[in-house]
Structure 1
Amino acid sequence: MSWIFLILAGLFEVVGVIGMNLIIRDKNIKSFIVFILGIGLSFICLSIAMQTLPMGTAYAIWTGIGTVGSGIVGILLYGESRAIKRIVFMAMVLVAAVGLKIIS
């Protein structure tokens, strides 16, 4: 169950980053709500996951999901670079996170 909360924490982190981007583009109440809910739910889920998962592993996977997820959202929704080097490095982040899971 902790892994499910950790994955949710990473996904909510992406929602929070989307909220940040919305705030930069248009400072309205909806943007702030998306940001606050995304980050808040992310930290709640992360804290639940860390009750049984090692801190280093949980934090690394949480940030990895947030990093790669935000990169993918940037590519798909905001027209950011699709350069192969960028995609390779995002894949390396995922491989490192999976490696931490395997050795934990």
Structure 2
Amino acid sequence: MEWISLIIAGFCEVGGVAMMNKYNNDRKWHSLLLLILGFGASFVLLSYAMETVSMGTAYAIWTGIGASGGAIIGMLFFGESKDWKRILFIAIVLSSAIGLKLAA
């Protein structure tokens, strides 16, 4: 269950990052609320996951999902570059997170 919480925490982090960009663009209160809820849920779930998953592994996976997801959301919804090099390095980050799970 802790691993599922960790993965969901990563996705909440992605949601928080997406709402940060949206709030920066439109300054609407519901974007700010979703930003706070996304990051808040992310931290709560990360904290729960770290009860059994080692800190280094949990943090690396959480940030890997957050960074990769944020870059992918930026490419899909905010017009950021879709250069093949960006996609390659996103794949490397995700592969590293999967490798940490397999080694843990």
Q: Same fold (TM over 0.5)?
A: yes
> Take 1:56 and 1:84, find their aligned partners in 2: how far apart are those partners?
29
Name the Cα RMSD after superposition: 0.6
In the alignment, is residue 2 of structure 1 matched against residue 2 of structure 2? yes
> Take 1:79 and 1:19, find their aligned partners in 2: how far apart are those partners?
15
Q: Deviations over 1:36-74 (max 9, x none)?
A: 000000000000100010000000000000011111111
Q: Which runs of 5+ in 2 are unaligned?
A: none
TM-score, reference length from structure 2: 0.97
Residue identity (%): 54
Q: Which runs of 5+ in 1 are unaligned?
A: none
Count of aligned pairs between the two proteins: 104
Deviation at 1:79, TM superposition (A): 1.2
Between stretches 2-11 and 18-27, larger displacement belongs to 18-27
4+ residue stretches of structure 1 with deviation over 6 A?
A: none
SS in 2 for 1:79: coil
In the alignment, is residue 21 of structure 1 matched against residue 21 of structure 2? yes
Counterpart in 2 of 1:41?
Answer: 41
In the alignment, is residue 50 of structure 1 matched against residue 50 of structure 2? yes
- What is the letter of the counterpart of residue 64 of structure 1? G
SS in 2 for 1:7: helix
